Amino acid sequence: MPRFTAISPGALAELVADRAISLPGHAVIAVDGADAADPVTFARTVADLLRAGGRPAEVVALHDFVRPASVRLEYDRSGEYTYRTAWFDYAALDREVLQALRQHGRWLPALWNEHTDRSARARIRTAAPGTLLLIAGPMLLGRNLDFDLTISLHMSEPALRRRTSPDAAFTIEALREHNSEAPDILIAWDHPDRPAVRDRTRQGPHRDR
């Protein structure tokens, strides 16, 4: 089992981009992390590096695939079980992004506007050859989503409690209870300015495709 290695934020983004750019054809990458970890910003940093290296790359935020408020808040507004099981539409994400990209060469960038609680009215996009999609958000792993590369921005419970807003504190228990899976690249993210990384991809492919 590889150990954690200290790494600078810039070198970390380059490492992830290097692993991603080696993926053939259209590919989908998970950047799993609590909202407190800000996985979307990290995914955008990697996407910028990929585009600079000549590879088409886009970021999809999981919060653009929430369920309507009438569904996700049907039983309560601050329950960890609701957040864990009813908040995000992982099935729609699979259908409209992962499968659509691989089977039809197109993808939907957003499904639902969480703030207005209305359809995002986003247009389906046609993917350029070799497009890499980085999907960023909480509890992506362990959902039977067929990612080509998985990244986890892991935060300890004390760090989560320090960096999660009081109105979102109920999400911490959901993150703890979620049955996740081992990522390809695990990043210790309590201190984003001085992360550490454990990279299983150095040991070669571990899944059949």
Query: In the chain, what are the domain boundaries?
Result: 5-203
pLDDT digit of tens for each residue in the chain (209 aa)? 458 999 999 999 999 999 999 999 999 999 999 999 999 999 999 999 999 999 999 999 999 999 999 988 877 777 788 899 999 999 999 999 999 999 999 999 999 999 999 999 999 999 999 999 999 999 999 999 999 999 999 999 999 999 999 999 999 999 999 988 999 999 999 999 999 999 988 754 444 33
The fourth-level CATH superfamily of domain 5-203 is P-loop containing nucleotide triphosphate hydrolases (3.40.50.300)
pTM of whole model > 0.85? yes
List the alpha helices (DSSP H) in the chain: 9-21, 39-52, 69-72, 80-85, 90-93, 100-104, 157-163, 170-177
Report how far residue 112's alpha carbon sits from residue 51's, in angstroms, rounded to the nearest whole number: 27
Residue burial 21-52, b: 16+ Cβ < 10 Å; e: rest: beeeebbbbbbbbbbbbbbbebbbbbbebbee
